């Protein structure tokens, strides 16, 4: 049975699966107050990327949505607050389906991030690290040379349970590698109750925000030319917590706390540390994933080779990443911009920086987490 045939609502939301079969098309593109320009009034053609659509919402789920706080989205029209976190309509359905259907295996490895924290990089590194015997990184046939990391390590909710799919896991080998942006509170019970490992990569909120602003504007303009969101309007949303899988700080905090309580289960990494000391961080990562580097692998260039293969310079210049796109319409090249620490200072005013620093201090410093 596919998720489109049954309501993906978890039972605690009172889902009546009998009445969930009716698929409803939500209005897709109303004028968005975040936009500097006007959008078309409705979805117009097959050229509209899936990430802009709000189609296939089951009646029961539409009811749930009506009971949830709602805000205008950054790209797709709406954001809904579920379990304290904001999701687009399409994404919310996927989150619900994933929570209901995903069955974790003990050996699974989940790579968790908020959007724009370095997900693509982390996926590439863990893929290369875990498959280094099968694919030595001097191999011209290394999958990372011809496939985007988001294809090699799919998102659970956004890849395997999106648009009514029920994940096909037949091609996965153990240990299975997945990405997810799910906040800790929304992880499926099967994940919470299993010993599978979670790697959380976070990034300082200033660079994350700037990266998200650029990314969402590219999705808007590459989609059907919707015009860009102003920095100020997006900043207002981000600081209020209204961003994809936001509030950013709550997302980070959920995994930070869990990493302190269960360090064997959750490894907490920072993008900035990865940039500054990549070898140290990847050695730590490999140890956590129980695939430590042998001394000879460190000396004969295996570790260096993985870092080079997964570097921003290498990945962003590969033909596949310049020209390809995800099934849902995002161009791979939108996942690569500058890949640097501190770019926020080129975009944000001193007041904006002070505001983000203040929120970070209020929300995270008390828990010992600083950027």
For residue 245, the minimal CB distance to ligand A3P (Å) is 11
In whole angstroms, give the CA distance from residue 66 to residue 5.
21
- Check if the beta carbon of residue 165 is closer than 8 Å to that of residue 3: yes
In whole angstroms, give the CA distance from residue 92 to residue 78.
10
Q: Provide the binding-site residues for ligand A3P, judged by CB under 6 A.
A: 113, 115-121, 207, 211, 214, 310-312, 315, 335-339, 343
For residue 85, the minimal CB distance to ligand A3P (Å) is 16
In whole angstroms, give the CA distance from residue 211 to residue 116.
6
Radius of gyration of the chain (CA): 20
For residue 310, the minimal CB distance to ligand A3P (Å) is 6
For residue 326, the minimal CB distance to ligand A3P (Å) is 12
Closer by beta carbon to ligand A3P, 116 or else 176? 116
Closer by beta carbon to ligand A3P, 166 or else 219? 219
User: Active site includes 87?
Assistant: no
The DSSP 8-state label assigned to residue 80 in this structure reads E
- Torsion 117-333-124-298 (CA) sign: negative
For residue 319, the minimal CB distance to ligand A3P (Å) is 16
For residue 142, the minimal CB distance to ligand A3P (Å) is 15
Question: Which residue is catalytic, options 181, 214, 251, 347?
Answer: 181
- Check if the beta carbon of residue 39 is closer than 8 Å to that of residue 30: yes
| CB neighbour class for 340 (10 Å; exposed up to 12, middle 13-18, buried from 19) | exposed
- Check if the beta carbon of residue 26 is closer than 8 Å to that of residue 184: no
Closer by beta carbon to ligand A3P, 161 or else 336? 336
Closer by beta carbon to ligand A3P, 117 or else 281? 117
In whole angstroms, give the CA distance from residue 301 to residue 285.
17
Shortest CA distance to 231 belongs to which of 256, 204, 209, 252? 209
CA-to-CA dists, residue 107 to 72, 110, 196, 243, angstroms = 39, 10, 5, 31
Closer by beta carbon to ligand A3P, 124 or else 369? 124
| The two structure tokens encoding residue 324 | 């390809």
For residue 309, the minimal CB distance to ligand A3P (Å) is 10
Closer by beta carbon to ligand A3P, 15 or else 310? 310
For residue 316, the minimal CB distance to ligand A3P (Å) is 7
Shortest CA distance to 104 belongs to which of 10, 175, 203? 175
Closer by beta carbon to ligand A3P, 178 or else 335? 335
Site of tokens 């050695």: 283
CA-to-CA dists, residue 112 to 10, 305, 317, 342, 368, angstroms = 21, 24, 25, 22, 20
Closer by beta carbon to ligand A3P, 167 or else 339? 339
DSSP string spanning 290-336?
Answer: T-PPPHHHHHTTHHHHHHHHTSHHHHHHSHHHHH-B-TTS-BGGGG-
Catalytic residue numbers read 181
């Amino acid at each position: 049975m596919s998720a489109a045939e049954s309501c993906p609502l978890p039972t605690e939301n009172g889902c009546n699966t009998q009445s969930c079969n009716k698929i409803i098309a939500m209005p897709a593109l109303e004028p968005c107050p975040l936009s500097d320009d006007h959008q078309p009034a409705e979805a117009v053609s097959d050229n509209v990327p899936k990430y802009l659509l709000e189609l296939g919402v089951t009646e029961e789920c539409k009811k749930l949505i009506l009971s949830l706080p709602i805000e205008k989205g950054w790209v797709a029209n709406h954001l809904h607050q579920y379990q304290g976190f904001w999701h687009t309509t399409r994404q919310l359905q996927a989150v619900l389906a994933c929570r209901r259907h995903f069955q974790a295996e003990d050996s699974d490895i989940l790579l968790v991030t908020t959007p724009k924290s370095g997900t693509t990089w982390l996926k590439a590194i863990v893929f290369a690290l875990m498959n280094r015997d099968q694919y030595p990184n001097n191999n011209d046939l290394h999958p990372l040379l011809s496939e985007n990391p988001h294809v090699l390590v799919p998102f659970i909710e956004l890849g395997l349970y999106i648009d009514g799919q029920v994940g096909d896991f037949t091609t996965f080998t153990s240990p299975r590698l997945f990405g997810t942006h799910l906040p800790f509170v929304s992880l499926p019970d099967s994940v919470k109750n299993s010993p599978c490992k979670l790697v959380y990569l976070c990034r300082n909120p200033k660079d994350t925000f700037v990266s998200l602003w650029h990314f969402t504007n590219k999705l808007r303009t590459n989609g059907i030319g919707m015009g860009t969101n102003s920095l100020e309007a997006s900043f207002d949303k981000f600081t209020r917590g209204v961003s994809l899988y936001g509030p950013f700080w709550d997302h980070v905090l959920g995994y930070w706390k869990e990493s302190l309580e269960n360090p064997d289960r959750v490894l907490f990494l920072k993008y900035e540390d990865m940039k500054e000391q990549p070898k140290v961080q990847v050695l730590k990562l490999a140890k956590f994933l129980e695939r430590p580097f042998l001394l000879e692998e460190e000396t004969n260039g295996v570790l260096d080779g993985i870092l080079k293969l997964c570097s921003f310079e290498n990945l962003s210049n590969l033909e596949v990443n310049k020209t390809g796109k995800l099934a849902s319409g995002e161009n791979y090249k939108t996942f690569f911009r500058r890949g640097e620490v501190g770019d926020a200072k080129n975009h944000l005013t001193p007041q904006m920086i002070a505001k983000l620093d203040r929120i970070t201090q209020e929300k995270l410093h008390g828990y010992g987490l600083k950027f």
